[in-house]
């Protein structure tokens, strides 16, 4: 959804092969979302994802939201993101969270979807 190559930050190896990427995408309500973060499996745990996130944080204003699997919570907390409760979420993220988590319960997904925000004034749960 809302993929636009011009928003992507891409990491390449010494041969020019893409090994990671991420973007910040704007939403119609004015919010911005850290999204599409991926690193090829054989290059994970080498700091590539961290570098991408850190650069995107430098280049984009706060608050910055993201959605992730519950198991990734501690990864994003290292960057200052905190889980937001439903009443604190902008409407786009409330809808997305409700839909994905309803499907998750219906189809017995192993993990819930979390909405997180990097904003020093936002309460965490």
User: Considering only CA atoms, which of 63, 64, 69 is closest in space to residue 114?
Assistant: 69
Average pLDDT, whole number, for the chain?
A: 91
Is 5-118 a CATH 3.40.1190.20 domain? no
Alpha-carbon gap, residue 75 to 72, rounded angstroms: 5
* pLDDT recorded at residue 125: 45
**Region 29-58 average pLDDT:** 96
User: Considering only CA atoms, which of 60, 62, 65 is closest in space to residue 93?
Assistant: 65
pLDDT band at 92 (very low <50, low <70, confident <90, very high): very high
């Amino acid at each position: 959804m809302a993929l636009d190559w011009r928003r992507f930050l891409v990491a390449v190896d010494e041969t020019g092969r893409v090994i990671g990427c991420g973007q910040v995408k704007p939403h119609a309500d004015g919010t911005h979302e850290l999204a599409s973060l991926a690193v090829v499996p054989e290059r994970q745990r080498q700091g590539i994802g961290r570098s991408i996130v850190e650069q995107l944080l430098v280049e984009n204003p706060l608050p910055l939201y993201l959605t992730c699997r519950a198991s990734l919570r501690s990864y994003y907390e290292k960057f200052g993101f905190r889980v937001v409760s439903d009443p604190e979420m902008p409407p786009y993220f409330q809808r997305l969270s409700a839909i994905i988590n309803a499907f998750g319960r219906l189809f017995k997904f192993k993990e819930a979807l979390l909405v997180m925000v990097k904003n020093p004034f936002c309460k965490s749960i």
